[in-house]
Amino acid sequence: MKTAFLFPGQGAQYVGMGRDFYESFPEARAVFDQAAGVLGSEFLDMVFNGPESKLQMTEYTQPAILTVSVAMFRVLEKSAYTPSAMAGLSLGEYSALVAAGSLSFEDALPLVQKRGIYMQEAVSEGDGSMAAIMGLSHDLVEQVCREAGSEGLVTPANYNCPGQIVISGQTAAVNKAINLAREAGAKKVTELKVSAPFHCALLQPVEERLAGELNKILIKEPAVPLVFNVTGKLAANPEQIKANLVNQVSNPILWEQSMRTLIAEGIDSFIGLGPGNSLSRMMKRIAPELEIKSIEEKEDID
């Protein structure tokens, strides 16, 4: 059996995530302590005790999810549980790169914090929003976005799984698309609680700043195959990886396509690793016949 580890992106966070790993596993504690050494002791207090309002701020959310995801991976790594491939959703790509030995955790922490700050600064609060549309085809969601374009910019941001696509853009255009999606027969439309309209052209100003930060750090070839969001394809060349990370900010996440790439590579078992279980749930929509698990709490390791 060939297993892929999947790492979550922003939105999976919650106060107290990873505390049981911190208290139970020395290798997990070492990751949290390293994060505290880079970002300050108050960082751990925020992750474990809140306030939630601070944890929800993008500049804190991103390093927090990265820390929890890597801590959980280190526990499995200590048990000699080696995956055959990895992938991460948006921010989760950084967790996957650390787990694959391509990017050091010490470099990744300030990098994703700056990424969060840059993303937040690119669009004024209230000017952009996102929504998840359930029950419509890819083509129909794309058509809805084109029609709503009369109100401003709105495009698909995440092709998550069959019947679930997230859209992103200027608030008026997203609201128009929500109404059109409901008229087109969407089973459910959920406005997302996000601080910026991720993975759309409004975030293009982030790219140059992020590229500048990526050029300061070392990225190596990953030890296991990684599939990337922005292409839905495998990549190992460090320069291509950097380009993928930059382009990912303002382009849609091809998650379903990425998972189908891994399946074509012979992966027949998937483990969602990190806070939340959304990746496992989406995977069950993509390939319900495969073995799919989620590790979020200490008991899941057992």
- In this prediction the pTM is 0.96
In a 3-state reduction of DSSP, which class is residue 231?
coil
Whether residues 147 and 27 fall in one domain: no
pLDDT recorded at residue 124: 86
Point out the domain boundary residue: 194, 217, 249: 194
Work out the percent of the chain whose per-residue pLDDT is above 70: 100
Q: Which residues are catalytic?
A: 90, 199
Q: Which bin fits 163, alpha (ψ -120 to 50), beta or left (φ > 0)? A: left
Point out the domain boundary residue: 166, 194, 222: 194
CATH of the domain at 219: 3.40.366.10
Whether residues 189 and 209 fall in one domain: no
pLDDT recorded at residue 193: 80
CATH of the domain at 188: 3.30.70.250
Whether residues 148 and 249 fall in one domain: no
Count of domains observed in the chain: 2
Whether residues 69 and 97 fall in one domain: yes
CB neighbour class for 202 (10 Å; exposed up to 12, middle 13-18, buried from 19) = buried
pLDDT recorded at residue 126: 80
Whether residues 179 and 237 fall in one domain: no
pLDDT digits (tens, 9 = 90+) for 143-162: 999 999 999 999 999 999 99
User: Given pLDDT bands bounded at 50, 70 and 90, which one contains residue 301?
Assistant: confident
Residue 287 above 90 pLDDT?
A: yes
Range of the structural domain that residue 291 is part of? 3-122+202-301
Point out the domain boundary residue: 194, 213, 233: 194
Residue type, 45: D
